[in-house]
Amino acid sequence: MNDTRRAVLAAIADGPVSGPDLAAQLDVSRTAVWKHVEALKEAGFSIKSDDEGYELTDVPEYGGLAVEYELEAPYELEYHERIDSTNTLARERAGDGATDLVVLADEQTGGRGRLEREWAAPSGGIYASILTRPPLPPARVPLLTLAAAVAVADAAREAGVDATIKWPNDIEVDGRKLCGILTEMEGEADRVEWVVVGIGINANVDADSLPAGATSLREHVGDVDRRLFTQRVLERYHDLAGDPDAILPAWREKAVTLGQRVRVTTPDRQVVGTAIDIEPPGQLVIDTDGGVERVHAGDCEHLRPVGE
Ligand code: BT5
């Protein structure tokens, strides 16, 4: 949202302000004020205008400007009702030089998981791709995936859902998948050019429109306010991304994987044992019959404990 539009919103949120006062306050013409007000109305903001001036009476339920409104993180939002994949568009924007941009959609027709798997993304979910240019070497980028997982788990818990994190990138409720994260990047060996962290949350969707083994926020607590939920996720993610030392402790607190018997499948091997820790930048430490092993990425299954 442009700065003047943001300032118009902030000013009229606290009661009626006359057009001339607003123009003087923001140092723009009255016509400019009027144009901003019209654009905001177009985006779904309810603005009362009478003799006393303009007053914000309601905020749109969802959308780019709605999420940007009072967002305490420095992201610009680009919203689409329907798009193939928010990650794909965010990558394109990265190629054009953008940064601190979140591509958000109500529905995706070609949502992607890891390794070109499909991600079901019906209308009503939260599909967000955060594009940034962090001053990190590529090897540290997995930390950002963990930060996003913590952010979603925290927002879900705030909404009353008992969400846990399964290494490396799933948020689950009672063993069913609520959210997945796909992190993509471009860069050189010692410096990242850009990173896109794509977050897919089954929010206000029926579980029967999702693959087996999936669950949604709706199933547990009914429909959530997607605007506030998305804001909480973006704000928490931004805070953690700026404080990398806080990521692993926060992740450990919510992880179900630690202490479990696991089977991790990577493209070239399988590792079976007890997950005992996570180490920077996100590798799982597994105690196996043959000693301690570390895996950076892979699909993780939680196994029943031996002897059960
Ligand atoms: C993931 O992959 O979990 C990453 C998903 C990332 C999706 C977001 S949405 C916004 C952004 N734009 C994109 O195009 N993608 C990102 P992975 O760990 O590979 O898991 C994929 C597997 O999860 C699939 O093979 C299915 O078994 C399952 N799955 C597919 N859709 C699901 C859903 N909506 N909920 C739960 N599980 C699902």
Which tens digit of pLDDT belongs to each residue from 10-63?
999 988 999 999 999 999 999 999 999 999 999 899 999 999 999 999 999 999
10/14 Cα distance (integer angstroms): 7
For ligand 1, whether the C-beta of 206 sits within 6 Å is no
Residue 73, phi-psi category: left (phi > 0), alpha (psi -120 to 50), beta (remainder):
beta
Rounded to the nearest whole angstrom, what is the distance from the C-alpha of residue 112 to the centroid of ligand 1? 6
Atom of ligand 1 nearest to the CA of 122: 34
The interaxial angle of helices 247-254 and 142-158, nearest 10 deg, is 50
Rounded to the nearest whole angstrom, what is the distance from the C-alpha of residue 122 to the centroid of ligand 1? 12
What is the distance in angstroms between the CA of the first residue and the CA of the last residue of the chain? 56
* Per-residue exposure over 50-64, b if at least 16 CB sit within 10 Å of its own CB, e if not: eeebbbbeebbebbb
Instruction: Return the amino acid letter for 156.
Output: A
* Low-confidence spans in the chain with pLDDT less than 50: none
Q: Tokens standing for 32? A: 């400019």
Please give the C-alpha separations between residue 154 and each of 65, 165, 230, 293, 300, in angstroms, as whole numbers.
23, 10, 12, 29, 22
Rounded to the nearest whole angstrom, what is the distance from the C-alpha of residue 85 to the centroid of ligand 1? 11
**Looking at residue 14, what is its pLDDT?**
87
